[in-house]
Amino acid sequence: MKKMFTLRGVSNTGKTTKIKQIAQWVIDNYSVTKPHQIDTKQGEILGILEVNKLRLGFVSAGDDLVHVKKVEQLLNNKDGDAVDIIINACRTRGAGRRYLENNFNKRNGWLIVNIYIKQLDALDIAEQSSRDVEVLDELKSWLTGL
């Protein structure tokens, strides 16, 4: 069964940053077997990392339906290889969320894990840091042992 881990939350909660951090964690901790175009130092990322024979797709943009639908580029990649795990982002409401729910579900062979990113006061740095560590730890626990 394929897996999709979606970071869901309102704008400015760090969804893109966390997805980039997880992509970098995979790059740093596992032997990525094919060249990739993921640059975690730039803006949004869209790409695939292959670890052994497992293919992980990353889509950090998720503000609207156009961005959320970029997941299709991972599924229809030029190599024609299937993506086993997708890590992406979307808002808590709207067309993007509905698109993911309608197209990626158990009926279609996907295990879905939504990780909600709580909106916190911009000045509450300690609470933000704690939230971010918790989210990253959850994602790492799902991905440990690739």
User: CATH number for the domain including 46?
Assistant: 3.40.50
Q: State how many domains the chain has.
A: 1
Predicted confidence at residue 137, as pLDDT, reads 96
State residue 29's pLDDT score. Answer: 94
Residue 28 is predicted with a pLDDT of 94
Query: What average pLDDT does the chain have?
Result: 92
| Amino acid 17: pLDDT | 95
Separation of first and last alpha carbons in the chain: 15
- Helix/strand/coil percent split, the chain, to 5: 40, 25, 40
Model-level pTM? 0.92
- CA–centroid distance for 122 within its chain: 23
Distance CA 34, CA 31 (A): 9
Q: In which band, very low, low, confident or very high, does the pLDDT at 53 lie, cut at 50, 70 and 90? A: confident
> Domain range for residue 90?
2-143
